[in-house]
């Protein structure tokens, strides 16, 4: 029983997209914290 090519495609593209989202989210969150003076 092997992992299908479709599954591997999902893993690879999914993880890359997730990383992009993470970077954008962290950037947006910092912007919001800085504007509110709540960074640290």
Partner 1 sequence: MTEDAVLLAPITGWVLLAIFSLLWVGLGIYWGQRNKSFEDHALAGRNVGLALGSATAAATWITSNTTMLAPQFALELGIWGMLAYSMAAFGLILFAPMAKRIRLLMPHGYTSGDFFRLRYGRTAWGIFLVFTLFYSLTWLVSMAMAGGILLEALAGIDYVWGMTVILAVCVIYTMRGGLAAVIGTDFIQSLIILVGIVVVGFAVLQNVSVDQIHANLTANKPELVDVLFPAALMAIFNNLLFGLGEVFHNNVWWSRAFAFREGVGSKAFLIGGLVWFPIPVAAGFIALASGALNVAVPSPDMVGPLVIANVLGEAGAIAIFIIVFCSLASSIDSLLAATSDLITEDVYRRLFHPSAAPETLKKMAQWITLALGVGTWAVCVPRIGTLASVLFFAGPLVGAMIWPIVTGLYWRRANSVGAIGGMLLGGGIGLVSYFQIGWYVASTIGTAVSMVWVLGAAWLSKDRYDWNLLKEAS
The residues binding partner 1 (CB under 8 A) are 1-5, 7-9, 11-16, 18-20, 22-23, 25-27, 29-30, 32-33, 38-40
Give the total residue count for the chain.
Answer: 40
Are the CB atoms for 3 and 11 separated by under 8 Å? Answer: no
- What is d(CA 40, CA 34) in angstroms, rounded to the nearest whole number? 9
Q: How far is the CB of 13 from partner 1 (least distance, A)?
A: 8
Q: How far is the CB of 6 from partner 1 (least distance, A)?
A: 9
Q: How far is the CB of 33 from partner 1 (least distance, A)?
A: 4
């Amino acid at each position: 029983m092997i992992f299908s090519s479709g599954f591997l495609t999902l893993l690879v593209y999914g993880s890359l997209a997730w990383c992009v989202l993470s970077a954008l989210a962290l950037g947006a969150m910092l912007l919001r914290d800085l504007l509110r003076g709540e960074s640290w």
